[in-house]
Amino acid sequence: MLTGRRFRVEFTGEQEMFAERIGSVCRAVWNTGLEQRREYRRGGAWMNYGPQARELAEAKTEHPWLKDVPGHCLQQTLMDLDKACRTHGTWKVRWRSGRWWSPAFRFPEGSKMVVEKLNRRHGRVKLPKLGWVKFRMSRFLDGEVIRSATISRDGGAWFVSFLVDDGRQAPSAHSVPGTAVGVDRGVVVAVATSDGQLLDREFVTAGERRRALVLQRRLSRSAKRGRNRDKARAALTGLRARERHRRTDFCAQSAHRLTVGNALVAVEDLKTKQMTRSAKGTLNQPGRNVAAKSGLNRAILGKGWHQFSLALQSASRYTGTLVVKVPAAYTSQRCSACGQVDPKSRESQAVFRCTSCHYGPVHADVNAAVNILAAGLAVTACREPTTPAGVVGPLKQEPAGNREELLLQPRNAAPAA
């Protein structure tokens, strides 16, 4: 299967300057290509990769600075632009700003790359025009076929990401068949499961919050294009990168833990992008409760809901786990014992007590996770058994009573094959 291996790069001074230059040229090619595509769309015509690649080759004769960087990186930039425009539309693809966009470029010919191990902690890879690039070899690449390599900058540090084929095949069935779990994502507890587990960690310490506040004030008060402003921005970027790395690690470990132990994982089908939209509104129609909505958006993004969903799907490829997405409506207000839906049953953010059958008190997120599991089992009850790597077959007609009986099964019971 295809997967990624990411390592921190230790550039020399000249290599770092040249990497910045490659990123800047790739950004210029992206923006020029996007402007050309939009100009064609204004005239009712289309532009694709082929003509742009030919024009790029012709432009190298007029602009020698295009020849200084690896040509494959520029071609790959046009390929990525073509894919983005075909997927999202020409008018929805964004510009790459020199201020907000971090340099990133890809070398597509992985078969020609040479990777050597220097010692127990370091390795090096030979890249076109960059030469031998040293990186921290936190894991070995023995037996893995490299397809491509991407150089990127994140939080002031440079990384190399290898797309490799690890030679593994997706399992046809889970090692522990018949197990299932429901997962509820929250803004206080990141992940709550139907068997009572509360998975969470602190991504930012109190000291880092105070430090970030000081840096933000210093950044706002410093003069533009000043050295102190650059120092404050670099320090703040480092804090934000540390927070992202912790969140990524938590999502990966939690997803691995859930997929290894369960053949079925049910999660809510949450549209995080729509849920975290701004509530400011416009001048003619200003929004309401803007501060509260802004705080909720920060909490949702801070817990990494979408990132956890992606990690769950990635981890399920190696375990044969079926990931089922169910509607999120009323999962936090429905009693998992009697099925009664009442907003008053949610006594507080963390406490649930049913107003009908008096079930509880239980943790509200755990109660929601039980409802999610029941919905996931009901969805899979009318489908074919899972075939490779979480792929579900077509719908199968069954009496409604069979689906209703699943709601009464124990929490960790999965549908019979």
Query: Which residues form the catalytic set?
Result: 184, 268, 365
Report the phi/psi class of residue 87: left, alpha or beta, with left for phi > 0 and alpha for psi in -120 to 50.
alpha
Distances (CA, A) of 121 to 8, 16, 118, 149, 163: 11, 21, 8, 20, 20
- Pair of tokens at residue 342: 């009442």
Tracing tokens 């309401």 back to the chain, one arrives at 288
- Pair of tokens at residue 221: 């008060």
